[in-house]
Every structure is written in structure tokens, then in C-alpha cells.
Structure 1
Amino acid sequence: MSVSNPEAFTPLTGGCQCGSVRYVVAAPPRRHSLCCCVDCRRSAGAPIVGWASVAEASLTITGQTAGYNSSGDIERAFCPRCGTGLFYRSASLFPGEVDVSTGTLDDPSAFSPTEIIQVADAPTWWETIGSLPRHARFPNEA
């Protein structure tokens, strides 16, 4: 799917790990960023976090989320039952938008990332990630 082709857009669905929170995104994302910033890494417990920036009006959420103010006006929403990080909002940085964690999409292959951001905060091994061995599942132990 092309992020810039609204005619071919199929609504995106997703939710938390336990299923208590579900969502639908009814309009195409403006971008799909992979973020390396310290706040995202610590919040997710992962080296990279994918975010699809969508219009707030295009997002429908069912279930209750809890919020955490990580800095300034940045609000991170998560499932209070299982802890899955779901949404990121900042009225000063992205008014009228919400970032949806693309790791929570039912189909994470629905569209490709469009950029990698905050690489100044990336771990020093970031540049070598493409050369690591790849395994379809866990590697065989010797």
C-alpha cells in the first residue's frame, strides 16, 4: 500500500496483546516512521519503534487506555491490562495527529516504513544491523 494513495486505502485494524483495546484507522497514514529516540526505546523496551502518523479524527478506539506523560506535552497511551504501548500524541509537535504503534497492527505489512528518525540516539551497533545473520525462527543451537 502506498501511504500517499488514499483511493486504494483499506482501513487498518490493530490492538493490544490481550485484546482489551482495539482500534481502526480509517484514513491513510501521513508517514510511517521508525524511531530510535531514547524515549521510544525505553517506553517500548525495544531498539526501534514504528509509528504511523494519522489524523486523530480517523482513529476509533474501543476499550480503555491509560496514559503516561513522558515529557512536555507528550502523552503515550497503553493498555492498562497488558501494558502494550499503542499511541503517541503531542499537540505542540503534531497537532490533530496521533501516532499509532505499527507493531500493534493486525497486518504489520500493510505498508512500508517511509523514514527512520532520531538516528542521533540510535545505539552504536545500529549501522551493522543489516549485516547480521537472519533466521526464520530461533537459530539452531550447537
Structure 2
Amino acid sequence: MTGGTGSHTGGCLCGQVRYRVDAPIGDVAHCHCTMCRRASGAVAVTWFTVQPDAFTLTTGQLRSWQSSPGATRGFCPGCGCQITFQTDAAAGELDVTLATLDDADRHPAQRHIWTDSRLSWLTLDPDLPESGQE
């Protein structure tokens, strides 16, 4: 059940970073790009998108890394858990890793993005719409 109003909380594996999102959870997408795979060590990364002012760190600070020109990833300096992604091209949007939400199970993916980079053997939510590039 994607959406819903109110507050959502989440955090990293070690607990050093905690956050709150004061917005509906929407635009949930499985990203298949090579950069997300390498940044996470996973075969795909599922993100949701909110306005940056809806995201508040409640504990700790994120360390940031510019993974490509105009793109910054935020992660826990303790355990390395990737939490945010933002690009200059979409400065009014902040992507947050869905799996770091405390209630992640309530927000299924709605689509696939960057499927041109998908691993050939991966089958994940085959009934969702796909976009080769995003």
C-alpha cells in the first residue's frame, strides 16, 4: 500500500543514522543501474522519492559522496548503509532507499528504472512497468 499520510521513520543497519519522512511514500521504483548496484552491493536498489524538506535526520549525520557529476549519495559513516541519492538535475527531489524504512513492507514497488542495465538473469516484479533509462 504505497502512499499514506503521516510520518515514516527509518535508519541504517548500525542505528547511528535515523530519519523521519513527513510525506506520503510515493514513486517507488526498483533501480537497475550499474552505479546503484555497485554502491549497494545488491542486484537492484529500490528507492522512493520525496521533496528534500520532507526528510529530516533525527539521529546522526550522513556522509556524502559524489558518485558521478551532479549526483550525490548519502550514507551512514558507521556501517556504510546507503540512504539517499540526489541529482542536480532534480534538485527538488530526494530519493531514499526503501529498505531503510521501518515500514518498508507497506510500500511495494510501482515500476522498474534503468532496465537497460538490468542483470540478464534477474527477474523481479515482472508485471511492473519498465523504463530503459530514467
> What is the aligned partner in structure 2 of residue 73 from structure 1?
70
Superposition pairs of residues 1-142 of structure 1, within 5 angstroms: 1-3=1-3, 8-62=4-58, 63-92=60-89, 94-127=90-123
Structure number having the greater strand percentage:
2
Gaps of 5+ in 2: 126-134
Gaps of 5+ in 1: 131-142
- Deviation for aligned residue 1:114: 1.1
TM-score, normalisation: structure 1: 0.82
Q: Distance in 2 between matches of 1:102 and 1:73?
A: 22
Match of 2:129 in 1: none
Cα 1:10–1:109 shift into 2, 3 Å: farther
CA RMSD of aligned residues (A): 1.7
Greater Cα shift, 22-31 or 76-85: 22-31
Write the deviation string for residues 66-91 of structure 1: whole angstroms up to 9, x where unpaired. 01111011000000011100000112
The percentage of aligned residue pairs carrying the same residue is 36
Superposition deviation, residue 95 in structure 1 = 2.0
Q: For 1:69-122, what per-residue CA distance to the aligned partner results, in whole angstroms no more than 9, with x for missing partners?
A: 110110000000111000001121x22111010111111112111111111101
Deviation of 1:29 (Å): 3.1
User: Which amino acid is 2:92 matched to?
Assistant: G
* Residue-pair matches, total: 125
